[in-house]
Amino acid sequence: MSLSTKCLLICGFIGSCMFSCRQNASAPQQKPVPPFLAEVQENITHLDSMLALPQTTSKLNYRDWEALANQLKVAHKEMNEANMTDWENRFHSQPQSLEDYVNAGPVRPYGKRQYIYVGKLGSFTAAQNNIFELTKIYLQAFYGVRVKYLDSIPLAQLQKDVRRRRNPHSKQEQLYSVHILERIMFPRLPDDAINYLLFTASDLYPGSNWNFVFGQANIQARVGVWSLYRYGDPDLSKEAFDLCLKRTLKTAVHETGHTFSIKHCTFYHCVMQGAYHLKEADERPQYVGPICLAKIGIACKPNPIHRFQQLHTFWSQLGFEEEADNYREFLSLLQRSLE
Ligand SMILES: [Zn+2]
Ligand SMILES: [Zn+2]
């Protein structure tokens, strides 16, 4: 079956030549496991057992989430003409209010479609593997939806089906992302999947006139592929690992948000804002603003307090103080409003 390309979303990161030439990305290689990864591995084991999902979903309705969003607004920075992003200055996203979202009948866990699936394409280094594991744990806590693995796909399996090229500037080999979505992912989409996200360490391109792309999704087909290639080398140091992890988590929740029908955020400083380049993506927060939080609540029905607690635990366990503090603030605001 061939997929319509109408809903193809090349999200945020447009690989203009100038931008890409400033990148200092190098191909990931197998290296000895650095000592800091032992601690990460221990944290993964802890987090995996600490962040179990509750058996039941929240009973809050649309109005409850709207009220909850209003209570949290004080902790978030609004977007306005003066602080508009490069993405919005170029693309002028259509604002999607909470009401617009509900009226559009968003994608959500429904019937037998109850799981987010994640998988790997090609080989990963030790650090990249840890980032993949943490992304799975984080996505589950962020959306309150169970995340399952789908079998890894070796690059050799793409030989026949996926076009490749040498990047005209860097000469690095790149995979054609459209073929990965259409020929590799869509036929594998499980019956009980809400969506399927594939991570790769290979560089991607979405068309002959593009230099590269960080990721691409087909919203209609509920599949998306994302590359770690340009997020730095996480095996290099603890700092490089942390940066690559934060970028990957941001991409994962942003793109998963799109698969739950959440459009680019124009209201608040929010992980669902579009980003035109890596600097702009880095400037986005790791969290969603109040409007997008309410959208997640309506679609996925997480318990809001439990969700904030889990996300606080995640960041705190990994030693990210700023991110942990953000969730501590949200949690305390929410708890006060419920007293
Ligand atoms: Zn996007
Ligand atoms: Zn938002």
Q: pLDDT digit string (tens) for 60-75?
A: 999 999 999 999 999 9
Distance 164 CA to ligand 2 centre (A): 35
Asked whether residue 292 is assigned to any structural domain, the reply reads: yes
Confidence of residue 235 (pLDDT cuts 50, 70, 90): very high
Is the pLDDT reported for residue 17 higher than 70?
A: no
Distance 293 CA to ligand 1 centre (A): 16
Distance 95 CA to ligand 2 centre (A): 10
Please give the pLDDT value at position 125.
93
- β-strands 215-218, 8-9 pairing: antiparallel
Please give the pLDDT value at position 29.
54
Please give the pLDDT value at position 220.
83
Q: Give which of 291, 264, 294, 296 is closest to 280, Cα–Cα.
A: 264
Is the pLDDT reported for residue 151 higher than 80?
A: yes
Please give the pLDDT value at position 30.
55
Average pLDDT over residues 172-198: 95
Task: Spot the catalytic one: 255, 322, 323, 329.
Answer: 255
Q: Which residue has the higher pLDDT, 133 or 81?
A: 133
Distance 193 CA to ligand 2 centre (A): 25
Asked whether residue 324 is assigned to any structural domain, the reply reads: no
Please give the pLDDT value at position 270.
96
Q: Which residue has the higher pLDDT, 191 or 335?
A: 191
Give the SS3 label for residue 319.
coil
Average pLDDT over residues 31-53: 88
Is the pLDDT reported for residue 114 higher than 70?
A: yes
Per the structure, the complete domain to which residue 284 belongs is given by 8-16+56-301
Is the pLDDT reported for residue 231 higher than 60?
A: yes
Q: Which ligand is nearest to the CA of 254?
A: 1
How far is the C-alpha of 288 from the C-alpha of 77, rounded, in Å?
11
In the chain, the number of structural domains is 1
Asked whether residue 208 is assigned to any structural domain, the reply reads: yes
Is the pLDDT reported for residue 168 higher than 50?
A: yes
Average pLDDT over residues 197-208: 94
How far is the C-alpha of 64 from the C-alpha of 72, rounded, in Å?
13
Q: Which ligand is nearest to the CA of 271?
A: 2
The CATH number that applies at residue 232 is: 3.40.390.10
Q: Give which of 115, 120, 142 is closest to 131, Cα–Cα.
A: 120
Confidence of residue 275 (pLDDT cuts 50, 70, 90): confident
Q: Comparing 24-28, 57-61, 248-252, which segment has the lowest mean pLDDT?
A: 24-28
Q: Is residue 283 flagged as an active site residue?
A: no
Average pLDDT over residues 76-86: 86
Q: Which ligand is nearest to the CA of 9?
A: 1
Percent of the chain clearing pLDDT 70 (strictly above) = 90
Q: Which ligand is nearest to the CA of 265?
A: 2
Asked whether residue 37 is assigned to any structural domain, the reply reads: no
Please give the pLDDT value at position 276.
83
The 3-state secondary structure of 38-101 reads: HHHHHHHHHHHHHCCCCCCCCCCCHHHHHHHHHHHHHHCCECCHHHCCHHHHHHCCCCCCHHHH
Average pLDDT over residues 3-22: 38
Average pLDDT over residues 111-118: 96
Please give the pLDDT value at position 34.
79
- Check: pTM over 0.85? Answer yes or no: yes
Distance 226 CA to ligand 1 centre (A): 12
The contacts of residue 248 (CB under 8 Å, 6+ apart) are: 131, 135, 199, 226, 228, 231
Asked whether residue 239 is assigned to any structural domain, the reply reads: yes
Please give the pLDDT value at position 10.
55
Please give the pLDDT value at position 23.
32
Distance 272 CA to ligand 2 centre (A): 5
Mean residue pLDDT of the chain comes to: 88
Asked whether residue 140 is assigned to any structural domain, the reply reads: yes
